[in-house]
Copies of this chain bind each other. A is one copy, B any other.
């Protein structure tokens, strides 16, 4: 069994979140059907997705024309309009669809989703807001995963005192209680007349012999305060 399998997704609501999701799932090789009541939004994705439907998802009659039986997951990606999101979920449930993922719009919205037994909920705005708030508070890297209130996995530019040194010669765990998980390094991917496309590639689990280079992005785990101390150390 291969790890990646082709699945069939239906995405209802093709705003920024819904269309990004539809495009990304298609790129990964899945079959994606997009649904929106707005003709322009649906048509914009016509050539990228398996199929698009211009349908008002709060209307039971319209919804019954969709190939719901052939999809593995229905993702309700509607933003802003809580009523429309709930009506859509209600119609899906009444039609016997069970694998539903819904975008969260507010606490009340989630309360009603829970009453309908929908527990697979995504919080695009909330998570991005927490991420930004955390970054502004700790002034750490741009990309991070909070492990709990005090700990995170953070991507930051390698501090200058690590450059050209071997990992084995830097007692980073002893000195700062920080764990270096991996490193991202620039690789020239393609070069045309007008620009060079550079991609950061992950060096996997690094060995004690690994030598840091200027411009490396280090992926670290530790307490936020400890990571910040390591980043701002002047050795």
Interfacial residues, chain A to chain B (CB-CB below 8 A)? 3-4, 7, 9, 15-18, 20-21, 24-25, 28, 30, 73, 75, 79-80, 101, 105-106, 122-130, 132-134, 136-138, 143-145, 147-148, 150-151, 153, 155, 173, 177, 179, 181-182, 184, 199-202, 204-205, 219, 221-225, 228-229
In the complex with contacts A25-B133, A177-B205, A179-B205, A128-B138 CB distance below 8 A: no
Instruction: Classify the interface of chain A: helix, strand, loop or mixed.
Output: mixed
Task: Give the number of times this chain occurs in the complex, counting copies.
Answer: 2
Smallest Cβ-Cβ distance to A179: which chain B residue: B205
Smallest Cβ-Cβ distance to A106: which chain B residue: B16
CA distance A143 to B131 in the complex (A): 13
The reply to whether A138 and B4 form a contact with Cβ atoms under 8 Å apart is yes
In the complex with contacts A21-B133, A182-B221, A145-B151 CB distance below 8 A: no
B contact residues around A3 at 8 Å (CB): 138, 224-225, 228-229
The reply to whether A132 and B122 form a contact with Cβ atoms under 8 Å apart is yes
Q: Pick the contact of A4 from B125, B137, B144, B179 — CB < 8 Å?
A: B137
CA distance A219 to B221 in the complex (A): 10
Q: How far is the CB of A80 from chain B (nearest CB, A)?
A: 7
Selected A-B contacts with CB under 8 Å, 9 pairs: A15-B80, A16-B125, A17-B125, A79-B125, A148-B200, A151-B202, A177-B205, A181-B181, A204-B223
Q: How far is the CB of A129 from chain B (nearest CB, A)?
A: 4
Q: Pick the contact of A130 from B20, B101, B144 — CB < 8 Å?
A: B20
The reply to whether A201 and B129 form a contact with Cβ atoms under 8 Å apart is no
Q: How far is the CB of A215 from chain B (nearest CB, A)?
A: 15
In the complex with contacts A16-B105, A151-B202, A225-B3, A28-B133 CB distance below 8 A: yes
CA distance A145 to B144 in the complex (A): 7
The reply to whether B147 and A182 form a contact with Cβ atoms under 8 Å apart is yes
The reply to whether A129 and B202 form a contact with Cβ atoms under 8 Å apart is no
Smallest Cβ-Cβ distance to A181: which chain B residue: B221
CA distance A151 to B1 in the complex (A): 20
In the complex with contacts A150-B202, A202-B151, A21-B137 CB distance below 8 A: no
